Chains A and B, each alone.
Chain A
Amino acid sequence: MRSLPRIEIVGPVAEAWNRMPRSARWLATLVLVGFLFLLPNLTIPVIDTPGSDFASVLFFPVGIYVLIALGLNVVVGEAGLLDLGYVAFFAIGGYAMALLGTETGIPFVLILPLGILASMAGGLILGTPTLRLRGDYLAIVTLGFGEIIRIIARNTDSIGGPRGINQIPHPPSVGGLKFGVIDPKPYYWLLLVIIILVTLLVRNLQRSRVGRAWTAIREDEDAAELMGVPTFKYKLWAFAIGAGIGGSGGVLYASKVISITPDNFLFILSILFLSAVVLGGSGNMPGVILGAVVVAYLPERFRGFSEYRELVFGAVLVAMMVFRPQGLLPSRRRAAELRRGDQSPDDAVGGEVATT
């Protein structure tokens, strides 16, 4: 990594960021990372979560949501493929961890890549027959895939059926870090490391040939194909990489929670992940991270109002889309699209997908 990115956000913060000298950007990044590592040890009055342990909340849902939203962002934000069943990959990762952990003696450091591979395989299995479909057809098929994975888990007795899998082992302790039942901090730190790695991976992909191909596909698939971009191959790549990231989230989640059941992987999670991506600003990583934090954190913060939580969440989603449809931190390209969109009645009815 030779230079820090010019972060793709619009607005005064981004401009200030891009004007800063490189050394200052490095410093700011280091301070931010350091702050994130210290976060579970701090008790900050306003952002604490009454009614649940703050460090636990940081791991799940906040951290896991961030990781998964980053993965989904590859599929939805980069390649523009609408996936309504993303929870499937989270589930595959979780079940890979649970099965390999309980049935075999494979150490955690191997289970993690195996779980990621399993999810990627799932992505390929889903993608190969379905990625020729466009837009909403793809959306409904992915939605179906998410449900199929959950139902298979529920109906297969050898992987616990509706009761799921119990006694999933924790990762082994490394030095002073003990991955036990009580202290959630080591899990959070591990997750944070993985999130940072994923962020770097995705950012480098964005700026590579693959990333440019994704952008081309998202903007106009037919044109991309005509320009010689092997669209099917790159769409499959997006699916597999997104699936792998989702799977890593599943592995980490299962490694902490001891037991998982099919009901941990309901359709509503796919919706929440997608909300996180769109709410934050599809295609822009800082935005997506912020969106995931908001979607995961707000319900925990306002546990006291749990009766009205989902009611308010639904209303917030609508209000958000009405008043700021580009997301909290839109990507620069997307903001430009929106300004253009103001004049196009074609977009005005929501017609963006090619109708061949």
Chain B
Amino acid sequence: MPFVPAITDLEQLKGHPAIARLQESIAGVVLGAKFDRDEMSIYIERSLIREACSFLRDDQTCPFNYLSDVTCVDWYPSEPRYEVVYHLLSISKKERVRLKVRLDGDNPALESVTSVWPSANFFEREVFDLFGVRFTGHPYLQRIQMPEDWEGHPLRKDYPVEGYR
């Protein structure tokens, strides 16, 4: 397949149904977008992530009713350092969309989406455990993979691959 450069201009992507409806209903929610390799990413304002998820889940035209995954990417040493990534799937329309929230390096925190999808519970715990991103309003934000008394967050880029010895 021929290589197509990514489209990152929000003006060009405004026509995408999920972006258009999000912008229409919640002011200031969409900070940017990227269409690359047939996949749509939408950058969401940090304080509005729960509203955005809730809106997309209940949207009549294309309900993204299934949360596939929550994860995180650490862009250390650049700022904003963390990108929390949500993969949404519409079971009826067979469509995917990716939401992203950018977070600063010191004290990264954002609102939990467990009240929208209970499935976010383990995913968010994993991100908290391995990246140290806090999710406010999470019912049980404890370490999930690492031992409870572990120090540090292994998937951060400034954490050595061999661990601290």
Is B truly associated with A?
A: no
